[in-house]
Structure 1
């Protein structure tokens, strides 16, 4: 194997992406070296480029969604073998990022891909699933619900309503599926009309147009349920959707956000705002994500969690540049963009 690989690199803060050559890393204890077949794109990738968020060392490799083949095992890794098809949640660290031909993954946040799924299917899962999951079940970065796959879980969310704003987004789609797993009912979501069938396929029981105002949506929801809305997951989290989410929320309810809050908690009503941060690599999420990642292969195999719809970008790593631009321009809806690093010229 060559000691060098191709990677899409951000050479400096708020610079422009370029394909470069980097060394292939070696796995340390508890790590795998993965030959990346598919890497999915996320909005955070263009936000890091444009605003200089999260990353402190340059040149930087981005990309949180990894699917590929195990090439080498680090010390102490027992559940994987060379040649296994795997998916993993990367990190904002060059050796563990997805926009390159080889990356290290942490075994605890890596799962085998069931035979029924392609690398492209699998690459759509890690970051968005973890964002949905930490937002719902994280104690520090979420609503702190009891995870439905743990022994202590009853069906205590059963017959409680949940509202998910932006159900056709990657995060929204996984939030719908986890809400179904937790026993929420009704599962109410907003999206564009063209994505109504998509969100209902994931498990939404009621759909409303994303362009309704807060008052209109509140009135529509009141015809579906007279139970208080104690949980709103805003998978879009723009200022306008955050305002809608807060308007829907009952006293002592929680509004989960995927971006920093532009609305303020209402102390008088005890409403909580929970901006989520979904990296499994931070200590606050470690226990939850170790527990959930042990379930990922089973969920995917049984169809409990269905991957996003996807579109494959041409030209390997080069294709990511145009893909991120399309995401930024709002030209992608209900679809995850996936690149094939091995096809880089």
Structure 2
């Protein structure tokens, strides 16, 4: 079944559910928005290892389906992928290319029927579909699926809204799918594994189907009281992961550069971990984690890359202790007496990379199925509406804004600051309107 067919079926189901509870909301009933121009200013990437070029007179993208709306881009949230993609020539499906994965702004055009959103709403748009340039952030107007848009509560500014979208999606899918965390007790949040197993498997993209349906077994799902180790605990993705993990009752270990982030995190009212470990000496960090948790860490999320993921793997201990020798080179431990009949694996999730080769016995590797958010409307809608409730109740707070640049022309300089490592432990945003 094609993506558009799935969206069409989802639309029909939503319409049938809503017809009995509210009258049709037609375009004529909505407040008028300023007219949308035919052309706009964009930033275009014309080749690898090049800067983005400010371009006038570029066509404003058109909404093509009943689930698509148009948003005026007002604040862009910058992400490492925005400079890494051109520098290392990956994630660029066509040239010239429009980049940018998250932004906040105002809805200026809606489908004829849209019960949840209205023209003029302040929203965060989470654009995980990098192949559709209409949805990219580096332009004055962008298209978005209505089930990938977060309506911002009054207490959240547009600048704050532009900081949290991609990190939230990565965090909730890592926790909810790869680790199996059930959030249904937190403001009626999603139980993603239950939802995925009730969906026709053919609806799921083939390249993430295995992770979604077979990544973790029910008896291994993370539960309240379990340890979660996060290597690269100062990243924005780690920020949202820590917040959601705490809501689920998990105990958190953050491995960071304490020279940069130690005081801030150790005193942070929201992000303070249960155990803060310095990453300067990886071997020492592994020893500290294993000693303080008595080898009881089964879940790890790495935000940095392949090398740090390999270090993090050494901290994880599957329930069958005899299998840990492959992870750290130590002699195998004798089996428990009596031996457990239900063995629990260790689970390593890599946000930017995983160790080379197959995982050792007793451990499983996971990649986050980001496509779920924009390919499966039911999942996307459940995540954005839950985030709306979390923000409204102040159960999730946006990452800290380290600086605000102004204008599309400032984006290249802002990305240079990120290349140089000047932005760490928070977000850099660009105010464009």
Report the TM-score when normalising by structure 1: 0.89
Partner of 1:259: 352
Could you say which structure has the larger radius of gyration? 2
1:178 deviates by 1.2
Partner of 1:337: 428
Partner of 2:275: 206
Q: 1:220 to 1:13 in 2, by over 3 A?
A: closer
Aligned mates of 1:34, 1:124 — CA distance in 2: 17
Partner of 1:274: 366
Partner of 1:17: 52
1:31 deviates by 1.5
Q: 1:106 to 1:280 in 2, by over 3 A?
A: farther
1:137 deviates by 1.8
Q: Does 1:316 align with 2:355?
A: no
* 8 Å CA contact 1:40, 1:123 repeated in 2: yes
Report the TM-score when normalising by structure 2: 0.72
Aligned residues: 334
Q: Secondary structure at the match of 2:61?
A: coil
**Gap regions ≥5 residues in structure 1:** none
Aligned mates of 1:123, 1:133 — CA distance in 2: 17
* 8 Å CA contact 2:309, 2:355 repeated in 1: yes
Aligned mates of 1:287, 1:327 — CA distance in 2: 35
Aligned mates of 2:165, 2:382 — CA distance in 1: 14
* 8 Å CA contact 2:290, 2:296 repeated in 1: no
Partner of 1:288: 379
Partner of 1:88: 125
Aligned mates of 1:164, 1:4 — CA distance in 2: 44
Partner of 2:179: 143
Aligned mates of 1:313, 1:320 — CA distance in 2: 11
Aligned mates of 2:299, 2:250 — CA distance in 1: 10
Q: Secondary structure at the match of 2:137?
A: coil
**Gap regions ≥5 residues in structure 2:** 1-34, 196-220, 319-344
Within a 5 Å distance, the mapping from 1:1-345 to structure 2 comes to 1=35, 2-21=37-56, 22-28=58-64, 29-90=66-127, 91-92=129-130, 93-138=132-177, 142-148=178-184, 149-150=189-190, 157-185=223-251, 187-193=252-258, 194-199=260-265, 200=268, 201-214=270-283, 216-226=284-294, 228-237=296-305, 239-251=306-318, 252-267=345-360, 269-283=361-375, 286-342=377-433
Aligned mates of 1:14, 1:303 — CA distance in 2: 41
Partner of 2:27: none
Q: Secondary structure at the match of 2:125?
A: strand
1:211 deviates by 1.2
Aligned CA RMSD, in angstroms, stands at: 2.3
